[in-house]
Structure 1
Amino acid sequence: MRISDEVCGQLALRFEVLLPHLNERQRRLALATEARLLGHGGVRLVARTAGVSETTVRKGVFELEAGDEPLPEGRVRRPGGGRMLAEAVDQQLVPALMALVEPDERGDPMSPLRWTTKSLRHPAGELSRQGHRVTAPTVGRLLKEHGFSLQGTAKTLEGDQHPDRDAQFRYINEQVKEHQAAGEPVISVDAKKKEQLALLPMAGREWRPAGQPVEVEDHSFFAGPSVETVIPYGIYDMNANIGWVNVGVDHDTAAFAVSSIRRWWQARGRRDYPAASRLLITADAGGSNSYRYRLWKAELAAFAAESGLMVTVCHFPPSTSKWNKIEHRLFSHITMNWRGRPLTSHEVVLNTIAATTTRTGLRVEAVLDQGSYPTGIAVSREQLQTLPITAHADHSKWNYSIAPAGGTAPAPRADERAAARRRTLHMLADPRLIGMTTSELDALRAQLAPAQEAQAEQRRYVLRGGRRVATTGRSRALLSDADEVLITIVYLRQVCPQKVLCDLLGINPVTIGQAIKATRQLLDEQKISITPSVVRYFTRAEDLRAWATGTDPAGSAPAISTRHSLTDPTLTGMSREALHALLEELIVPYAALIEQRRHRQRGGDRRLGTRGGVFRQKITDGDRILATILYRRRVCTLNTLAELFGISCSTLWNAINDVLPILDAHRVTITPAECRHATAADLLAAIDEPHPEDPRGGGRQPTC
């Protein structure tokens, strides 16, 4: 009997409404019921209408005709159906899996997965190689059943803790509460990570139209040689919940850190706290505001003198920077605000920082600082001791106060030190020190300039590993190429040791040493020789400055050193003019002889990895020749002569043995002196009074 279309339509409508709400067994029995009601041909029609196989419908018909009892609630199939679980078939599967994923706990350091990623396919593959046939989904199910889950690392291990850590935390808390109760400003300071201004990937995501992400460079380290960098230095006001960020474009130095605090005080601090007399600063133990940096303290002393504030600084112990308030009250919110957004310009950086807010009322201001803050500035120990710094009784290295200048001279600011450095460089360009005129010095600088630029580019290439990275701001060196040529000439002229140059210029020895090494290498490559000076050898910065300006430190007479006194005509047997001419005649062949001997000793040319010819001599070549002349004159014993030159007898004896062949080769006649002095004091006392041959005027002759 043919089934009408009306019945087929009603059947399809019932299936559409009912079947989505039934489970597998219920659907099968419902379809079988309709098929039995339709009679012959019902199975095929129901299967076609419901979109299932005829086998499924017949299976339901058989279940209805068998009259089985209903299944327990919650079950769809009778117990015993399907394959057995993998762990039931293979009893050793779970122990083998645990041994793979827990090699440390199981004491198996040789596990095949000890040093690989424990993704599901790796354990499944290794188990299959061991004879346990298993798939990745089964491995995932077994791991979940045994309490495993996907986890990252947890930053909970803080490493070795400083023994005074908790005590310092409590002390900082006490200082903060005391200043806040008195209505004094309390700020937390730190520098944020340096950022490049380019279309570079930024962590995080932000809402954009679907399929229109911001296109950025495919490598985060690529920024091109013309891309600038910015350094945000933050000041967080704990009392007012206000952030102030100084965005620098040069170097993250101590001078930049204090300049940021100074700009905050001028823009916000003195307006928000007009009656303030003290300022508390909490800072990390490292970075540009490290408690070890003398420049940090010197710049703070200058700031205290300008503002009239008693500046108290409390540093957090090492490895505890995350407890500094600025980290989680300001910097974390700034990072969240510019997530997924490339920093392409100064405007983007400033506006993004200034737009940072929180539900607790945080407000942030940002300004651009285009000042120059070069690295390499040094503050001597003597200069630090003159600053009005008072260490606290508790943890004095981390807690100290800096008073306004008061009765002492205020500490110089960075711009004042830069001006003093320019004046010192002008002083060092004295023709008497460098042995050449100003025009000759300019010509030498112009000759070396191309090689210096190529050398600097090669050095940058090596430092960045061949990558093209941003260099803007890094060219703001403390010393220009012309300055490096000048100090190298002064140094190679043996006018003074490196320490004197550091004290004169306020630059650390590393910067001075690198400049001399690089310039000396270029001089050697172009076969340019610098003749050592025979005029003076200055061991103190004040002596060199006094000689160049014509006054002693007190501002009266010219300074006369002990070594200059040893050139007295009574001791040398010749006038100072004749001695000067003799030294100029002998110093070049002597230097050549010494270099030839050193060349033989080292078996070749000077290695590039060494100090590049930067000498460590205790006395100059001119002093060696002078000492040899005095030794031949027999004016005193070898021990007395060594005492006068401030060196050991062995060093002096080696110098004399080097110079004697030069004197003999040039047939220099040295006549013995009429008087031999027993001690250094007797010798200096004998020439203390001027005599007729001395250009200083007449006087008595030394007695024997």
Structure 2
Amino acid sequence: MGISDETRVQLTQRFAVLLPHLNERQRRLAMATEARLLGHGGVRLVARTAGASETTVRKGVFELEAGGEPLPEGRARRPGGGRLRAEAVDPDLVTALLRLVEPDERGDPMSPLRWTTKSLRHLAAELSRQGHRVTAPTVGRLLKDSGFSLQGTAKTLEGAQHPDRDAQFRYINEQVKDHQAAGQPVISVDSKKKEQVGILPMAGQEWRPKGDPVKVEDHSFFAGPHVETAVPYGIYDMTANTGWVNVGVDHDTSAFAVASIRRWWQARGSSDYPQATRLLITADAGGSNSYRYRLWKAELAAFAAETGLTVTVCHFPPGTSKWNKIEHRLFSHITMNWRGRPLTSHEVILNTIAATTTTTGLKVETALDPGTYPTGVQVSREQLQALPITAHDRHGKWNYTIASAAGDTPAPQGADERTVARILALRMLADPRLTGMTDTELGALQAQLAPDQEARREQRRYVLRGGRRVATTGRNRSLLSNADETLVTLVYLRQVCPQKVLCDLLGINPVTIGQAIKATRQLLDEQKISITPTVVRYFTRAKDLEAFITQSDPEQVPMEPSRYALTAPALTGMNRKALHALLEELVVPYAAAIEKRRYRHRGGERRPGTRGGVFRQKITDADRILATILYRRRICALETLAELFDVSRSTLWNAINDVLPVLDAHGPAITPAEHRYTTAAELLAPTPAKNPRHHHVVL
């Protein structure tokens, strides 16, 4: 009896609906059931209808007739089928694999993969090299079976903890609670990472149409020769859960940090806390708000005087910045908000920060700060000691209070006042009595050096950035212009005062002054421009130099125990004008004689690495000549003379031996003095001929 066409059609329809939803074993058993029901010829018909092999259908029939137990849920085959696993064939495979991926201190120090990424491909290649033939997917399965997984690094090791770490945390918590209970503002401050403005890659991902990512530059370190930057400095109000971000375009200095706090107070703080008399600031131990920076404290003192607030600052211990509230209450949310989004303009940055919110009600305001905050500003130790700062009993370096100026106490200088003072000091240094030039001659020298100075400045930038054309704003934000560097170098080479006096006058740190003098001096040497020094290094204190320029009688300065007292006519045997002319005449031939001697001693050209300062020793060339004149006059013994010049006896004796031939060849006859002093105090004792208050100065 044959199988009807109707049966064939029904079988085709059932297979089309049922078989796509079954696994391998279920399809085999379903086809075997249909074949058994059809009887003779059913196996061939079912196989042709389902598009399967007759052997597969026949195997299913045998399974049904055998009456085996159903397989466990989730299995399509009985256990034991297929090839043996790699670890069964090679029992040493897992041991060899674990030896490669174990921590370095427990693994083989000679392993080729110790300093290589332990990817599945690298591990499989190394195992195969060792004789364990295995594929990358098998390595992944073996690692999972052994309890391994892909993991990144976890920032949990804090290193050596400061012994006062926990105590400082508790103290900060006490201060915060005290200020909040009294209704006083408490803020957490810090600066966020500086960002370049442009179509640059940003970490993270953002939803966009598939296959249409935002196209950005392929190198994040370069966006053009004059790219703008953004320096976000945040202030987080811990009580109100509000943020305020000041986005600067210059350097992240202490002046910028305090300017950000000042702008927050003017925009929000004064209106949110109209009755406030105190302000608590919690900050990191480093960065622009470091407890080590004098400028940070000086700017806060100016802010306290301006607002009338008593400012208390509590710093977190070094290495614990993640505990600062602003990090995880404000900055983390800003980073998440602009992930995967190029910061193409300052407007985009401001709008993205201002749009940052959280489910807990965080609100953020922001503003652009176009101000300039150059580096290199110095606050002297004396200026710091004059500030109204009181250290707390608990770790005074980290915890201190700055009182507002009251009564007749002068207010501390702010950034603007320091800038004005620097401008006035530069005008003072341009005095012809200090430079030895008229204003016209000084201007001509500055114009002559300006092109080379600009070229040298650009060359220095090129060297510092390793030959790469990195992004810069293109603005000159240095404390000293090219003309200022020429002026400072001229005064220094004239030996009017040492670098320390220049630093105190200008409020600039020694590194900035030193670099300016070094670069400008090289240009002077290249252009064969010589600077004639003054005869004596007169000013060792900034206030003496200021007094010399500002007083009504410019030829008199306040009396100070110094070497200038040794130029008195009673000691030298000539008036100061004649002594000045003699010293100026002898300085050049003496310097030439000394250079010839040094040239012979070193056997040729100057060796690299020699110090290039003009004050290499305590005694200058003019001082050596003056000491030789006094020695020829037999004013006092050599030991007393060495004490007066604050040098050793051997140093002074060598100097005298160097000067004597020059003095005999170019100078007048020196006659012995009528009186010989036995001690330095006796020689410097005031006499009717020496005014204890004032004396004549010639530059």
Shorter-chain TM-score range: over 0.9
Quote the residue 1:324 is aligned against: 324
Quote the residue 2:123 is aligned against: 123
Quote the residue 2:557 is aligned against: 558
After TM superposition, the structure 1 stretch with the greater mean CA deviation from structure 2, 33-42 or 579-588, is: 33-42
* Conservation of the 8 A alpha-carbon contact between 1:301 and 1:403: yes
Quote the residue 2:523 is aligned against: 522
After TM superposition, the structure 1 stretch with the greater mean CA deviation from structure 2, 325-334 or 104-113, is: 104-113
Change over 3 Å in CA distance of 1:70–1:393 after alignment to 2: closer
Distance 1:610 1:46 in 2: 101
Change over 3 Å in CA distance of 1:149–1:572 after alignment to 2: same
Q: Which amino acid aligns with 1:486?
A: L
* Conservation of the 8 A alpha-carbon contact between 1:251 and 1:473: no
Quote the residue 1:365 is aligned against: 365
Quote the residue 1:652 is aligned against: 652
C-alpha displacement of 1:25: 2.0
Question: How far does the alpha carbon of each residue in 1:458-485 deviate from its partner, in whole angstroms, 9 at most, with x for none?
Answer: 1111111122222217620011111111
Change over 3 Å in CA distance of 1:54–1:658 after alignment to 2: farther
C-alpha displacement of 1:2: 7.9
C-alpha displacement of 1:128: 2.1
C-alpha displacement of 1:103: 5.2
Change over 3 Å in CA distance of 1:72–1:567 after alignment to 2: closer
Distance 1:329 1:182 in 2: 23
C-alpha displacement of 1:104: 3.8
Q: Which amino acid aligns with 1:623?
A: D
C-alpha displacement of 1:593: 2.7
Question: How far does the alpha carbon of each residue in 1:217-265 deviate from its partner, in whole angstroms, 9 at most, with x for none?
Answer: 0011112211011111111111111111111111111111111111111
Quote the residue 1:641 is aligned against: 641
Task: Please give the secondary structure, in 1, of the residue aligned with 2:281.
Answer: strand
After TM superposition, the structure 1 stretch with the greater mean CA deviation from structure 2, 279-288 or 632-641, is: 632-641
Quote the residue 2:268 is aligned against: 268
Question: How far does the alpha carbon of each residue in 1:92-115 deviate from its partner, in whole angstroms, 9 at most, with x for none?
Answer: 222222222215464532233222
C-alpha displacement of 1:570: 2.0
Distance 2:482 2:365 in 1: 38
Quote the residue 1:176 is aligned against: 176
Distance 1:551 1:237 in 2: 54
Quote the residue 2:402 is aligned against: 402
Quote the residue 1:222 is aligned against: 222
Quote the residue 1:257 is aligned against: 257
- For structure 2, which runs of at least 5 residues remain unmatched after alignment? none
Distance 2:600 2:324 in 1: 59
Quote the residue 1:470 is aligned against: 471
Percent identical pairs in the alignment equals 78
Task: Please give the secondary structure, in 1, of the residue aligned with 2:267.
Answer: helix
Change over 3 Å in CA distance of 1:68–1:376 after alignment to 2: same
* Conservation of the 8 A alpha-carbon contact between 1:250 and 1:473: no
C-alpha displacement of 1:21: 3.4
C-alpha displacement of 1:638: 1.4
* Conservation of the 8 A alpha-carbon contact between 1:285 and 1:318: yes
* Conservation of the 8 A alpha-carbon contact between 1:247 and 1:366: yes
Quote the residue 2:68 is aligned against: 69
Q: Which amino acid aligns with 1:51?
A: G
Distance 1:560 1:386 in 2: 25
Quote the residue 1:701 is aligned against: none
* Conservation of the 8 A alpha-carbon contact between 2:544 and 2:557: no
Quote the residue 2:666 is aligned against: 666
* Conservation of the 8 A alpha-carbon contact between 1:518 and 1:612: no
Task: Please give the secondary structure, in 2, of the residue aligned with 1:132.
Answer: coil
Change over 3 Å in CA distance of 1:400–1:695 after alignment to 2: closer
Quote the residue 1:543 is aligned against: 544
Question: How far does the alpha carbon of each residue in 1:316-365 deviate from its partner, in whole angstroms, 9 at most, with x for none?
Answer: 10000110111111111111111111111111111111111111111111
Quote the residue 1:286 is aligned against: 286
C-alpha displacement of 1:664: 2.4
Q: Which amino acid aligns with 1:232?
A: P
Distance 1:501 1:472 in 2: 29
**1:247 counterpart = 2:276:** no
C-alpha displacement of 1:695: 9.7
Correspondence 1:333-348 to 2 at 5 A? 333-348=333-348
Distance 1:255 1:597 in 2: 50
After TM superposition, the structure 1 stretch with the greater mean CA deviation from structure 2, 101-110 or 165-174, is: 101-110
* Conservation of the 8 A alpha-carbon contact between 1:520 and 1:613: no
* Conservation of the 8 A alpha-carbon contact between 2:495 and 2:536: no
Quote the residue 1:699 is aligned against: none
State the TM-score, normalized to the length of structure 1. Answer: 0.93
Quote the residue 1:702 is aligned against: none
Quote the residue 1:496 is aligned against: 497
The alignment of Structure 1 onto Structure 2 pairs a total of residues equal to 691
Distance 1:44 1:126 in 2: 52
After TM superposition, the structure 1 stretch with the greater mean CA deviation from structure 2, 4-13 or 403-412, is: 4-13
Change over 3 Å in CA distance of 1:497–1:418 after alignment to 2: same
Quote the residue 1:487 is aligned against: 488
C-alpha displacement of 1:42: 4.8
Distance 1:269 1:608 in 2: 58
Task: Please give the secondary structure, in 2, of the residue aligned with 1:558.
Answer: strand
Task: Please give the secondary structure, in 2, of the residue aligned with 1:566.
Answer: helix
Distance 1:584 1:497 in 2: 19
C-alpha displacement of 1:147: 1.0
**1:679 counterpart = 2:676:** no
Q: Which amino acid aligns with 1:559?
A: P
Task: Please give the secondary structure, in 2, of the residue aligned with 1:69.
Answer: coil
Quote the residue 1:150 is aligned against: 150
C-alpha displacement of 1:516: 0.7
Quote the residue 1:418 is aligned against: 419
* Conservation of the 8 A alpha-carbon contact between 2:71 and 2:77: no
Q: CA RMSD in A?
A: 2.4
Distance 1:440 1:638 in 2: 43
Change over 3 Å in CA distance of 1:69–1:518 after alignment to 2: same
Question: How far does the alpha carbon of each residue in 1:194-215 deviate from its partner, in whole angstroms, 9 at most, with x for none?
Answer: 1100111000111122222111
Task: Please give the secondary structure, in 2, of the residue aligned with 1:113.
Answer: coil
Quote the residue 1:689 is aligned against: 689
**1:207 counterpart = 2:192:** no
Q: Which amino acid aligns with 1:90?
A: D
C-alpha displacement of 1:605: 5.2
Distance 2:241 2:2 in 1: 85
Task: Please give the secondary structure, in 1, of the residue aligned with 2:148.
Answer: coil
Quote the residue 2:187 is aligned against: 187
Correspondence 1:17-36 to 2 at 5 A? 17-36=17-36
Task: Please give the secondary structure, in 2, of the residue aligned with 1:243.
Answer: strand
